[in-house]
């Protein structure tokens, strides 16, 4: 009589043990599938970028790695070698260094202009109660959902006729920087405001009591404290303008940023995938590291604090 | 009062000037253009040209006279109607896939464990890939001759399914047509749109998972514990506890993703080029075609862009209301 329940208990434990292990195994499989889903396209792009030409048009994974694709996309020689055959195969130098410079200058300048403006504005929105404060904030939030095309059309029309330093704004870095502001500046204001809001205002109060004026409090008390937040917002702003495509296509035009330059990797055999992959790695690599840096802020950044 | 009243205005003024110049100006200008005939092929410099040909039903006397022509044209333009349709389905598919897969990832990675932590870190990487590049890399991987995803899909999905179909066909009364093994993904109307949504899902599902992970982390663990003690199994816990608790977040995420999907542009250019036969021409893509590629018709493009603005405003208003409620 006493033995029977003991056997039952052991059986339950054994089946429970198997059940738990099967569950764990399924979980590991699911995790590996998720990792494959996330990382595979990136892995494959990286792999293709170091494939020799004849392997790029296959799914082979065994090949001798080469940096020739990177060499080609940056080269300014029209044809690298074997004029006849290589031209046909598309080994035409892509001269992408100016494109990289365009991307760096446009994104860099966008950040350098937007962030200081956004910072002082965000501070005012957070710390002062002035007429229109809330209405303006709602407008700033709403602009984030404007389709870029509705901004691009009038600026395209305008920039065709406006000249700066003897060159039309259409197809210039300055033109693209201006249009980028429509997207980056409201975003940066909203984001930095979030960081200022999170800052306790006791220290500022103390500074006011000690006789500091508004600007002294802003520049010597608050700004140093909110610096990490400003850095995060800057990284976000940089990624946004670096990855921006529609404005770069319509307003940037012949002044190609790297995103648009990706489209120039085509030739007689359509898109030259090994070159596209190499250019793609150049586009992606800096953002990879920046993305790791803002990992913890991405959710707040994208949802503007709607998901907490 | 130690804070001076004029100070905030000084601080917000520079930013506001730039924000207004880059958002209000284009909105007003596009609105104005949308009621005028403004075709770059005919007007090298900005000049409002009104239809003055005989027989034109529109009254066109004065430059200040407005015309609804662009808007009436829009709703009889089958290509525009097509783009509305494409955008609608793209939004449904991409939002659905992104949210469901994002939720699945979140539930899996949210538990403690080393592999889970690693996966959580990796979730950020698709965000680093620009949409334009996303489109190109998926187009490459889906190529029917040398695409790796094409190979995997055929070998791991289509062939096994066809094997089962073949076996079933040996049974009496069953006659199922096997799936075409030589499918060219981006040349098929349905698959092209689906794969476009899939490339978007690849970028968004991990981000949505991160959003859900944050939300799941803020749910009291005791609730799950209580459900487990009461004898609920995993599926029951997910559908009866996790899902209802996540509902507000799911709603917000769905709205946000829908807003982004409605504005779909980049990958259409780099992945499908709107094809096959306009099957993936989203609204944004069609506006770009009208305004800058095919017609250079700024007036018509502006009108179409305004229709998109109106559609987006509905979603945006809901979203902004949610965000401000959280404040």
Q: What are B246-295's pLDDT values in tens digits?
A: 898 899 899 999 999 999 999 999 999 887 888 999 999 999 998 888 77
B296 phi/psi in degrees, rounded to 5: 55, 30
- In terms of CA atoms, which chain B residue is nearest residue A151? B26
Would you state the structure tokens that stand for residue A170, as one six-digit string?
A: 């259409």
Query: Which among B15, B211, B305 has CB closest to A299?
Result: B211
Query: What is the pLDDT averaged over residues A251-264?
Result: 88
- What span, in angstroms and rounded, lies between the C-alpha atoms of B251 and B202? 20
A67 touches chain B (CB under 8 A): no
Asked whether the beta carbons of A229 and A202 are under 8 A apart, the reply is no
Query: In 3-state terms, what secondary structure has residue B297?
Result: strand
Q: Is A220's pLDDT higher than 80?
A: yes
- What span, in angstroms and rounded, lies between the C-alpha atoms of A306 and A302? 9
Beta strands in chain B (DSSP E): none
Give chain B positions within 8 Å (CB) of A193: none
Query: Which among A42, A161, A287 has CB closest to B45?
Result: A161
Asked whether the beta carbons of A107 and A238 are under 8 A apart, the reply is yes
Question: Hey, which residues 31-50 in chain A have their CB within 8 Å of chain B?
Answer: 31, 34-35, 37-39, 41-42, 44-45, 48
Question: Mean of the per-residue pLDDT values for chain B?
Answer: 85
Asked whether the beta carbons of B93 and B194 are under 8 A apart, the reply is yes
A20 touches chain B (CB under 8 A): no
- In terms of CA atoms, which chain A residue is nearest residue B134? A41
Would you state the structure tokens that stand for residue B132, as one six-digit string?
A: 């334009």
Query: Which among A130, A155, A298 has CB closest to B124?
Result: A298
∠ CA B296-A174-A168 to the nearest 5 degrees? 50
Q: Is B62's pLDDT higher than 80?
A: no
* Residue A107 Cα, gap to closest chain B Cα (Å): 14
Query: Which among A249, A277, A284 has CB closest to B129?
Result: A284
- What span, in angstroms and rounded, lies between the C-alpha atoms of A59 and A126? 54
Q: Considering only CA atoms, which of A103, A119, A124, A106 is closest in space to residue A260? A: A103
Query: Which among B12, B306, B324 has CB closest to A121?
Result: B12
Asked if B309 and A150 come within 8 Å (Cβ–Cβ), the reply is yes
The per-residue pLDDT for range B120-134, each reduced to its tens digit, is: 999 999 999 999 999
- What span, in angstroms and rounded, lies between the C-alpha atoms of B30 and B260? 21
DSSP 3-state helix, strand, coil percentages of chain B (rounded to 5)?
70, 0, 30
The CATH number of B22-144+184-326 is: 1.10.3720.10
**pLDDT at position B49, please?**
40
**pLDDT at position B52, please?**
39
B65/B222: higher pLDDT: B222
Question: Mean of the per-residue pLDDT values for chain A?
Answer: 85
B44/B294: higher pLDDT: B294
Would you state the structure tokens that stand for residue A32, as one six-digit string?
A: 């590996």
- Ordered by start, the domain boundaries in chain B are 22-144+184-326
A167 phi/psi in degrees, rounded to 5: -125, 140
Query: Which among B121, B218, B284 has CB closest to A149?
Result: B284
The per-residue pLDDT for range A33-62, each reduced to its tens digit, is: 999 999 999 999 999 999 887 788 888 888
A58 touches chain B (CB under 8 A): yes
**pLDDT at position B20, please?**
93
Q: Is B92's pLDDT higher than 90?
A: yes
- In terms of CA atoms, which chain A residue is nearest residue B30? A154
Query: Which among B133, B151, B211 has CB closest to A284?
Result: B133
**pLDDT at position A6, please?**
47
Asked whether the beta carbons of B59 and B65 are under 8 A apart, the reply is yes
Give chain A positions within 8 Å (CB) of B267: none
- What span, in angstroms and rounded, lies between the C-alpha atoms of B98 and B205? 4
DSSP string covering A61-125, please? -------HHHHHHH--SSB-S-HHHHHHHT-B----HHHHHHHHHHHHHHHHHHHHHHHHHHHHH
Q: Is B51's pLDDT higher than 50?
A: no
Q: Do β-strands A266-267 and A270-271 pair in parallel, antiparallel, or remain unpaired?
A: antiparallel
- In terms of CA atoms, which chain B residue is nearest residue A152? B26
Asked whether the beta carbons of B239 and B246 are under 8 A apart, the reply is no
**pLDDT at position A9, please?**
56
**pLDDT at position A78, please?**
58
**Lowest-confidence range among A80-84, B44-48, B146-150?**
B44-48
**Lowest-confidence range among A197-206, B16-25, B176-185?**
B176-185
Query: What is the pLDDT averaged over residues A5-17?
Result: 63
- What span, in angstroms and rounded, lies between the C-alpha atoms of B141 and B202? 13
**Lowest-confidence range among A78-92, A115-129, A215-229, B63-77?**
A78-92
How far does CA A276 lie from the centroid of its chain? 19
The per-residue pLDDT for range A231-250, each reduced to its tens digit, is: 999 999 999 999 999 999 99
- Going along chain A from its start, the domains and CATH numbers come out as 3-69 (no CATH), 97-264 (1.10.3720.10)
Asked whether the beta carbons of B37 and B53 are under 8 A apart, the reply is no
Q: Considering only CA atoms, which of A234, A235, A244, A232 is closest in space to residue A102? A: A244
**pLDDT at position A1, please?**
44
Asked if A298 and B127 come within 8 Å (Cβ–Cβ), the reply is yes
How far are the Cα atoms of A225, A237, A289, B320 from residue A195, in angstroms, in the given order? 10, 15, 22, 19
Q: Is B27's pLDDT higher than 60?
A: yes
Asked if B109 and A148 come within 8 Å (Cβ–Cβ), the reply is no
Would you state the structure tokens that stand for residue A127, as one six-digit string?
A: 């710390």
- What span, in angstroms and rounded, lies between the C-alpha atoms of B245 and B238? 10
- What span, in angstroms and rounded, lies between the C-alpha atoms of B288 and B90? 18
- In terms of CA atoms, which chain B residue is nearest residue A205? B2
Asked if B259 and A58 come within 8 Å (Cβ–Cβ), the reply is no
A130 touches chain B (CB under 8 A): yes
Asked whether the beta carbons of B38 and B48 are under 8 A apart, the reply is yes
Asked if B146 and A57 come within 8 Å (Cβ–Cβ), the reply is yes
> Best-predicted range by mean pLDDT among A7-21, A202-216, A241-255?
A241-255
Q: Is B99's pLDDT higher than 90?
A: yes
**Does the interface predicted TM-score (ipTM) exceed 0.95?**
no
Would you state the structure tokens that stand for residue A53, as one six-digit string?
A: 């030409």
Asked whether the beta carbons of B208 and B253 are under 8 A apart, the reply is yes
- What span, in angstroms and rounded, lies between the C-alpha atoms of B13 and B19? 10
Q: Considering only CA atoms, which of A83, A288, A156, A283 is closest in space to residue B291? A: A156
- What span, in angstroms and rounded, lies between the C-alpha atoms of B12 and A125? 8
Asked if A276 and B136 come within 8 Å (Cβ–Cβ), the reply is yes
B234/A140: higher pLDDT: A140
- What span, in angstroms and rounded, lies between the C-alpha atoms of B258 and A2? 63
A123 touches chain B (CB under 8 A): yes
**pLDDT at position B44, please?**
45
How far are the Cα atoms of A124, B79, B287, B299 from residue B290, in angstroms, in the given order? 42, 10, 5, 10
Asked if B3 and A299 come within 8 Å (Cβ–Cβ), the reply is no
**pLDDT at position B327, please?**
61
DSSP string covering B77-129, please? -HHHHHHHHHHHHHHHHHHHHHHHHHHHHHHHHTSSSHHHHHHHHHTTHHHHS
């Amino acid at each position: 009589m006493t033995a029977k329940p003991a056997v039952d208990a052991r059986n339950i434990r054994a089946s429970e043990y198997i059940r738990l292990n099967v569950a764990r195994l399924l979980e590991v499989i699911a995790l590996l599938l998720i990792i494959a889903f996330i990382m595979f396209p990136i892995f494959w792009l990286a792999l293709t970028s170091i494939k020799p030409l004849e392997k790029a048009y296959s799914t082979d994974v065994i090949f001798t790695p080469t940096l020739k694709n990177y060499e080609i996309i940056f080269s300014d020689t029209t044809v690298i070698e074997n004029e006849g055959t290589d031209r046909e195969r598309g080994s035409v130098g892509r001269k992408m260094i100016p494109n990289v410079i365009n991307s760096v200058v446009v994104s860099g300048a966008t950040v350098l202009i937007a962030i200081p403006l956004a910072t002082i504005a965000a501070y005012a929105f957070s710390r002062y109660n002035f007429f229109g404060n809330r209405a303006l904030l709602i407008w700033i939030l709403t602009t984030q959902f404007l389709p870029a095309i509705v901004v691009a059309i009038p600026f395209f029309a305008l920039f065709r006729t406006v000249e700066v330093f003897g060159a039309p704004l259409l197809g210039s870095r300055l033109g693209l920087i201006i249009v980028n502001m429509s997207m980056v500046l409201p975003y940066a204001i909203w984001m930095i405001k979030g960081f200022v809001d999170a800052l306790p205002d006791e220290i500022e109060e103390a500074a006011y009591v000690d006789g500091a004026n508004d600007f002294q409090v802003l520049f010597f008390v608050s700004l140093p404290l909110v610096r990490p937040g400003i850095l995060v917002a800057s990284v976000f702003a940089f990624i946004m303008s670096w990855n921006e495509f529609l404005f770069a296509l319509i307003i940037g035009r012949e002044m190609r940023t790297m995103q648009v330059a990706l489209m120039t990797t085509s030739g007689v055999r359509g898109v030259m995938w090994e070159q596209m992959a190499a250019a793609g790695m150049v586009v992606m690599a800096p953002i990879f590291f920046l993305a790791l840096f803002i990992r913890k802020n991405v959710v707040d950044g994208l949802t503007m604090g709607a998901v907490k | 009062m130690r804070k001076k009243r004029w100070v905030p205005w000084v601080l917000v003024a520079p930013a506001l000037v730039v924000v207004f110049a880059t958002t209000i100006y284009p909105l007003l200008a596009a609105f104005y253009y949308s009621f005028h005939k403004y075709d770059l092929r005919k007007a090298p410099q900005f000049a409002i040209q009104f239809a003055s040909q005989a027989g034109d039903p529109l009254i066109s006397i004065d430059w200040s006279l407005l015309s609804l022509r662009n808007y009436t044209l829009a709703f009889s333009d089958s290509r525009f109607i097509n783009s509305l349709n494409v955008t609608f389905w793209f939004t449904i598919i991409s939002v659905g896939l992104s949210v469901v897969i994002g939720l699945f990832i979140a539930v899996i990675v949210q538990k403690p464990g080393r592999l889970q932590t690693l996966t959580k870190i990796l979730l950020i990487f698709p965000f680093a890939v620009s949409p334009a590049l996303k489109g190109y890399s998926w187009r490459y991987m889906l190529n029917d001759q040398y695409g790796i995803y094409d190979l995997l899909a055929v070998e791991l999905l289509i062939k096994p399914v066809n094997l089962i179909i073949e076996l079933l066909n040996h049974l009496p009364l069953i006659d199922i047509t096997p799936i075409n093994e030589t499918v060219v993904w981006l040349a098929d109307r349905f698959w092209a749109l689906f794969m476009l949504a899939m490339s978007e899902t690849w970028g968004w599902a991990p981000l949505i998972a991160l959003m859900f992970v944050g939300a799941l982390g803020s749910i009291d663990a005791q609730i799950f514990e209580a459900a487990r003690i009461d004898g609920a199994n995993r599926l029951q816990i997910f559908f009866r506890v996790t899902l209802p608790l996540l509902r507000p977040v799911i709603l917000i995420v769905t709205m946000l993703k829908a807003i982004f999907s409605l504005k779909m542009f980049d990958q259409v250019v780099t992945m499908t080029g709107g094809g096959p036969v306009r099957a993936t021409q989203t609204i944004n893509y069609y506006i770009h075609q009208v305004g800058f590629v095919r017609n250079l018709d700024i007036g018509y493009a502006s009108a179409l862009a305004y229709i998109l603005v109106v559609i987006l405003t509905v979603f945006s208003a809901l979203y902004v209301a949610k965000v401000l409620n959280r404040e």
